[in-house]
Structure 1
Amino acid sequence: MNPILAILKEHKVSDTQIKDLFQTLTQNPMAAMAIIGQLGIPPEKLQQLMALVMQNPALIKEAVVELGLDFSKVEAAKAQLDK
């Protein structure tokens, strides 16, 4: 299992919430950040999760693919933010 998904599940984030989070990520990464803050993950674990993603950004793609979502939408949203 993807380490991002494992951390979320470890903190009792439901499959539905995880799928919603990554669906939001594919549409609006900034909104996804707000959702992450509302999941009740302790700050030290959230910091660990963010460090993991920053060290290995490919984990996001792996999680999106594992959830059956379209990663090209993540890339499009990222490009929109870069403008």
Structure 2
Amino acid sequence: MNPIIALLKENNISNEQINELFQTLTQNPLAAVATIGQLGLPPEKLQLLMGQVMQNPALIKEAVEELGLDFSKVEAAKAQLNK
């Protein structure tokens, strides 16, 4: 299991919330940041999660694919942000 998904599940984040988070991420990465904040993760767990993503951004792609979502949408949203 992807370590991001595992960390979220360890903190009682439901599969529905996880799917919603990554669905938001594929559509609007900035909105995903707000969604993460609403999950109620303890600060130390949130810091651990962000550290994992910063050290290995490919984890996001792996999680999106594990959930059966379309990673190309993440890339398209990222391209829009860089314009």
TM-score (norm. length: structure 2): 0.98
Paired residue for 1:2?
Answer: 2
Listed as ranges, the gaps of 5+ residues in structure 2 are: none
Q: How far does the alpha carbon of each residue in 1:16-72 deviate from its partner, in whole angstroms, 9 at most, with x for none? A: 000000000000001000000000100111001001000000000000000000000
- Following TM superposition, the consecutive aligned residue runs of length 4 or more in structure 1 with deviations greater than 3 angstroms are none
Paired residue for 1:25?
Answer: 25
Listed as ranges, the gaps of 5+ residues in structure 1 are: none
Report percent identity of matched pairs. 78
Given the alignment of the two structures, is residue 61 of structure 1 paired with residue 61 of structure 2, yes or no? yes
Separation in structure 2 between the aligned mates of residue 28 and residue 7 of structure 1, nearest angstrom:
22
Give the partner amino acid of 1:82.
N
Separation in structure 1 between the aligned mates of residue 8 and residue 78 of structure 2, nearest angstrom:
22
Separation in structure 1 between the aligned mates of residue 68 and residue 59 of structure 2, nearest angstrom:
14
Paired residue for 2:47?
Answer: 47
